[in-house]
Amino acid sequence: MSLEEMFGDDTAPFRTVYETAQAVINDYMTLHNCKIEKVAEQLGTTRGYLYGTLDPNQTHRPLSVDRVIEITNLTGDTRIIDSIKEASKVSDIWKECSITDIMMAGLKIQSHTGSLSETLFEAVKDGEIDEKEGERIRRMAMDEITALYSIIGMTK
């Protein structure tokens, strides 16, 4: 079961950073009339590795800060950094919270994460996630995301 199947049309907030990176690379290729192989070469990597880096589903090849800086230096386009800055604004709200609020928020998220991890472990034991298990995982993941967003919103 893919992330898209599990979460439907709901996209994770970090996806916008990856989508922005893809747009920056695409615009650069259009501007310079070149292909992804040329961009990868200019960044000192391979086409396949660059593709993987720009794909948020390939967590074994995350879009690193170093790669973002390299892409920004190559293209002269700061949109990826701006996107990261926008996505990280959430961290500023924690300055307004008491230590008790932060501890309780952490415990609430850990509670959801532990339950979800246990459910995932049980679901994959037989090597297959059936429809019922997939729906339970999706519901639990969405509950965790909802809890996180409610915690983020508690200072607003």
Contacts of 137 by beta carbon, 8 Å cutoff, 6+ apart: 1, 6, 116, 119, 120, 123, 129
Which pLDDT score, from 0 to 100, does residue 83 have? 85
Share of the chain above pLDDT 70, in %: 74
d(CA 145, CA 156): 18
Which pLDDT score, from 0 to 100, does residue 91 have? 52
Which pLDDT score, from 0 to 100, does residue 93 have? 55
Taking only the tens place, the pLDDT of each residue in 98-147 is 667 667 777 777 776 778 788 888 888 888 888 888 888 888 888 777 77
